[in-house]
Structure 1
Amino acid sequence: MSYRKKFEELGIAWPSLERPALPFSPTVRVGDIIYVSGQIPEIGADIAATGQVGREVDLATAQHAARLCAANIVHWLDKALDGDLDRVVRFAKLTVYVNAIPGFKSYSEVGNGASEFLLHVFGERGEHARCALGMGGLPANVPVEADAIVHVR
């Protein structure tokens, strides 16, 4: 089954993103490791959700935002691998940053949105080490941002 079909099964369209005019790259490859810069829940030029989890954003919306972040990670990874995601050996590390109110405790549950997405799309190769942590704010006031370290061939 194609990677795009796996996205569709989860109700997420294949991302259509342009490289932002920022002083860093969406991906950097060092040997057989690709580092994917932090991704926010963008759909094209639009941001899918803004606000703090526990205030303007509920848990289900934050989990969906985390899935979108993971989808955008895959988009940039696909670009770095010239469209050949079969070259992914394994996701090594995923970090999920959650913009939440003080006292929020379900960071792992938010992070599960991204982790479960990667497991669905890549199977065993999508299993990873992970850190999900709270932030006092994130760019564009998004509820979630995620970055990844991926072993490739």
Structure 2
Amino acid sequence: MSRIDDRLAELGLVLPEPVAPVANYVPYVISGNLVFISGQVSIGPGGLITGKLGADLDLEKGVEAAHACGVNLIAQLRAACGGDLDRVTRVVKLGGFVNSTPDFTDQPKVVNGCSDLMVAVFADKGRHARAAVGAPALPLNAAVEVDGVFEID
């Protein structure tokens, strides 16, 4: 077992099989030592977390949705690394999109569900630049979608 696999086990996280693309794109692209992972929606163990923050969903459910996005990002990253997450040298940047009402302004708190996971799994290598923005709608009515850029060796 790798160091990161050990950390995932300590956190009680089991990575799902990477989600297949639902349109004309690939799940990730490797360019040099960077892995660009397409947006991952809020699919958790109970299925797709849907709804709009500020209307159907509260902050706690939004954080859970962003955490699910993070788990899916790591699953795609594992595939990109040939199964070896110890190859990750840095979480570079996350882009978080929150399905929210116009008056909802806690997008950064929602996307912390993903950011906190990256730091929990990758420690200091998990600290990253980030955007957290509101969106009037997301594919499949997902509550949250997050894409990411990762550095690998």
Question: Normalising to structure 2: TM-score of the pair?
Answer: 0.91
Check whether the contact 1:101–1:136 (CA below 8 A) recurs between aligned residues. Answer: yes
2:132 maps to which residue? 132
CA distance in 1, matches of 2:44, 2:17: 7
CA distance in 2, matches of 1:8, 1:62: 24
CA distance in 1, matches of 2:21, 2:15: 18
* Match runs of 1:24-63 below 5 Å: 24-43=25-44, 46-47=47-48, 49-63=49-63
Structure 1 stretches lacking a partner, 5+ long: none
CA distance in 2, matches of 1:23, 1:44: 25
Tell me the SS of whatever aligns to 2:52: coil
Structure 2 stretches lacking a partner, 5+ long: none
Among all aligned residue pairs of Structure 1 and Structure 2, give the percentage whose two residues are the same amino acid: 35
CA distance in 1, matches of 2:112, 2:46: 25
CA distance in 2, matches of 1:140, 1:13: 24
Does 1:115 pair with 2:99?
A: no
Choose 137-146 or 15-24, whichever is displaced more. 15-24
> What letter corresponds to residue 22 of structure 1 in structure 2?
A
When residues 59 and 75 of structure 1 are mapped into structure 2, their CA distance, relative to the original with a 3 A threshold, is same
1:13 maps to which residue? 14
Check whether the contact 1:38–1:146 (CA below 8 A) recurs between aligned residues. Answer: yes
Shift, 1:55, TM fit:
0.9
CA distance in 1, matches of 2:22, 2:55: 31
When residues 60 and 139 of structure 1 are mapped into structure 2, their CA distance, relative to the original with a 3 A threshold, is same
Check whether the contact 1:16–1:43 (CA below 8 A) recurs between aligned residues. Answer: no
Does 1:88 pair with 2:88?
A: yes
CA distance in 2, matches of 1:65, 1:73: 13
> What letter corresponds to residue 125 of structure 2 in structure 1?
R
CA distance in 2, matches of 1:87, 1:50: 33
Check whether the contact 2:15–2:74 (CA below 8 A) recurs between aligned residues. Answer: no
CA distance in 1, matches of 2:24, 2:45: 20
> What letter corresponds to residue 13 of structure 1 in structure 2?
V
